[in-house]
Amino acid sequence: MNYQINFIITVLACFVTLWVLYPFALKVRLVDRPNERKTHKGEIPLIGGISMFFGFVVALLISVPDLNQVRGILIASTIIIVVGVLDDHRDISVRARFILQIIAVLIMTSYSGVTLNSLGNLFGVGDVLLAGWGIPFTVVAAVGVMNAMNMSDGVDGLAGTTALVCFLSVLYLYYLAGGVALKPLLFVGVLIPFLWSNLRKVKKVFMGDAGSMFLGFGVVWVMIEASQGKDAIMTPVTALWIFAIPLIDTVAIMFRRIMKGQSPFLPDREHLHHIFLRAGFSDRATLYTMSSLAVIFAAVGICGYVFQVPEWVMFSGFIFVFIMYLWGISNIWKILKRLRMSLNIVSLM
């Protein structure tokens, strides 16, 4: 298999799809409009997800001669894209979106056998085997990751860069194991044209719910394949660190909403990227800061695996980071106020 050619085909197919769909999206009003939670200027086509999906599928069909090998991911990702496009265009209900996401994950587990069977040695007493709970746990984890990616899509390039860090991290671990994996490579290939189109000022595009859910689904698929079975190239706790930023932020936000008696799925402006923006960071500064944090957390996870740090130690560290984040996010404005006061005192000295 010529991975370089497959990668180039993915990039080109995604670029062509973006070029073709741009005027069509404006015509059918598949666009994102500014509102109280969205401060961009003008109507931006929501075609990033469709173009990424098309580029991925074209390269996958060319790369794999036996369609039975990729039937599961083709059917499941098609459902995800259709759900996302409908949500982008007409705003479908949360219940309908969850049901269709669950169906897509069940197809992933039944057609392709991509299932969480073990969580690894999280507590130092042996592997946590899920047995009959493998499929339900996979459904919860996959739906959670898809929606975490969706919730992180609040600043130009953020969700795409976060996903890029995940796929590159997995590719690096495959490289250390002496191989290359097709799926994460193709996801990297579709992200390059999208990020180029998303971060420029002219003819900008957004990925929409279709794109964020497609990327979230891809992250789940790739990480489960990489962390399960005898051919695993990382542990499940490594995956937690690689996907740390959107995971920790989403779980913390949902926990805070539940504690306030609110729906955990209620949209708001309390995510980490919103806090950076309200604290005075520009969009680009927020993107660079959060992307750097994503790289740091992923590097911690990779180093933990490479240097064979016990899984229970890595998991304990992850829980500690989550608790500190939850405390920090709950007191962020007090912390920033004291920090500004300290800086003012220093500047007067």
* pLDDT tens by residue, 153-182: 888 899 999 999 999 999 999 999 988 899
pLDDT for res 14: 95
3-class SS of residue 132: helix
pLDDT for res 272: 82
3-class SS of residue 36: coil
Distance CA 94, CA 87 (A): 9
Distance CA 14, CA 198 (A): 13
Q: Directed axis angle between helix 244-259 and helix 283-306, to 10°?
A: 110
pLDDT for res 256: 80
pLDDT for res 255: 82
Tokens of 244: 């740390």
**Residue 130, phi then psi, degrees to nearest 5:** -90, -20
User: Which ranges of the chain have pLDDT less than 70?
Assistant: 1, 34-41, 265-268, 336-337, 339-349
pLDDT for res 35: 57
pLDDT for res 336: 67
pLDDT for res 266: 66
pLDDT for res 202: 84
Distance CA 287, CA 62 (A): 34
Tokens of 73: 């991911």
Distance CA 163, CA 326 (A): 23
**Residue 47, phi then psi, degrees to nearest 5:** -115, 0
3-class SS of residue 14: helix
pLDDT for res 37: 54
pTM here is: 0.91
CA distances from 299 to 241, 296, 316 (A): 8, 5, 17
